[in-house]
Structure 1
């Protein structure tokens, strides 16, 4: 989750859209005593989610905003595609209802999900402290990642053209050529950071960007977002060792490091940069 946008016009517009979505889907915002004031904002206010009671009982109503020219495509249809194609043993909130509408140059999409009783493990993608997670949670995560990797889809989370362009640029500090062709491709959630994982009962949230990626991508991304807490980073390496210790897993780590170094250049998660650069040397060095 991200912070409430600084622009009050965006905040007002998204809250008004959320109220309109409640009316369209027959949902009622939860009162403050029931946690109804809790808001989950997306990047730069692109999405807003809140608890709501709808036709299927307690739920979560999420509104997505786009300009007319950007509406549609992978991010727009990701949750519906996941509901249709991803097996139910990959734990996630069920998507019940979807509505879309336009207001001038703005397009909105409302999605009504099952309520997830347990919240995200931390409130932000980057881990800040050791989470208390059970062996069953970790076992469920391994099963989910493995099951998802076999799903057949024409959706794409990471493109080869991006790897060819970005990896030489953002890994130049290594001082040696870095291969850009993955050993294998598989299907990934594509945004498996800590704010998209609920616990203690495992549930995987936010299915906008899922699709094919270098094999091991999800495990590598979770590990990268754990680097600020070395104890948990080591736990991720241990629990997902069958993925991360492989040639494909090491390559996926380098891909994720490339992406996060690029996003840090834009101001995101700069605190991870030293650890990312160190890890890049560890997984891509001679003999690896």
Structure 2
């Protein structure tokens, strides 16, 4: 790839399988490894495939390289992308300081993304139905509107300048899925959750948007059940779910 990694700049991924480095070319290289039998073809090329999307503020993709490591039975992938120097939003305190222009920019990015045609699947009807019914029982979950989504839109994947990062899992999902994911991450702060709902009301107040939010509530409640105790997300998710179920006619 003809770049030199600036080793002290390393940032490790949450699960220890990725590293990111600033380079001698003032770009960013993300290195990932996976066991050979755990490679999902869609996820593996997600960042590269996202280079076809227009109208979304995101790091530009330049090149990639992949290779097999037989000794450890893993496959490596390195992607060189545009270096984004703006920090990620990261938390609700920082989110509360974002200007109106940041929100309007994100709406424009998600609208452009939603209109982008793709055969990639970000969230299937089967998965949504399974997760919702596990928590809320046998209710009607058929989604009537679909759009292309990032599928992992939380404060750690948004920069303070409005860049959307981490494009491994993007694909078609229920309309409002991205806004619902951001809304779920804002639930510990009622004012911020209300802000997200207000900014993306056009999507979140549709049937598909309500189902997308109900899915996020189910995910938060399931996570607390596995943990064996409430989380900052689970209790507000329970309250929000009651309202959503009523709005969907399942009270």
Answer whether TM exceeds 0.5 for this pair: yes
Provide the C-alpha distance between the structure 2 equivalents of 1:264 and 1:115, rounded to a whole number of angstroms: 36
Describe the superposition over 1:182-216 as per-residue Cα deviations: whole angstroms up to 9, x where unpaired.
121111001001100001x1100000000011111
Contact 2:128 2:215 in 1 (8 A): yes
> Hey, what does 1:16 align to over in structure 2?
none
Post-superposition offset of 1:27: 2.0
Query: Which residue of 13, 16, 20 maps to 1:41?
Result: 13
How many Å separate the matches in 2 of 1:53 and 1:179?
54
The answer to whether the Cα contact below 8 Å between 2:89 and 2:95 also exists between their aligned partners in 1 is no
Query: Which residue matches 1:101?
Result: 67
State the partner residue of 1:251.
211
Q: CA deviation at 1:130?
A: 4.4
SS at match of 2:233: helix
Q: Is the 8 A contact 2:143 2:207 kept in 1?
A: no
Determine the C-alpha separation between the residues in 2 that align with 1:233 and 1:137.
16
1:8 — aligned with what?
Answer: none
Output aligned runs, 1:1-288, within 5 Å: 25-30=1-6, 32=8, 36=9, 38-42=10-14, 44-54=15-25, 58-84=26-52, 86-87=53-54, 89-104=55-70, 105-122=73-90, 127=92, 130-172=95-137, 177-199=138-160, 201-267=161-227, 270-285=231-246
How far the C-alpha of 1:31 sits from its partner, in A, is 6.5
Q: Give the distance between the partners of 2:177 and 2:197, measured in 1 at CA.
A: 13
Moved over 3 A (4+): 127-131, 259-270
Which consecutive residues of structure 1, in runs of 5 or more, have no partner in the other structure? 1-24
d(CA) in 1 for partners of 2:51, 2:182: 23
TM normalised by structure 2 equals 0.90
Contact 1:128 1:228 in 2 (8 A): no
Structure 2: distance between partners of 1:120 and 1:271: 21
Q: RMSD across aligned C-alpha pairs, in angstroms?
A: 2.2
Structure 2 CA distance for aligned equivalents of residues 203 and 137 of structure 1: 10
User: Cα 1:31–1:99, aligned 2, differ >3 Å: closer, same or farther?
Assistant: closer
Deviation at 1:81, TM superposition (A): 0.8
C-alpha distance in structure 1 between counterparts of 2:40 and 2:64, whole Å: 14
- CA distance 1:63–1:143, change in 2 (3 Å): same
**CA pair 185-228 structure 1, distance change in 2 beyond 3 A:** same
Over 3 Å counting, the alpha-carbon distance change for 1:271 and 1:248 in structure 2 is: same
What is the TM-score with the length of structure 1 in the denominator? 0.79
Name the count of aligned residue pairs: 246
In structure 1, the residue corresponding to 2:65 is in which secondary structure?
strand
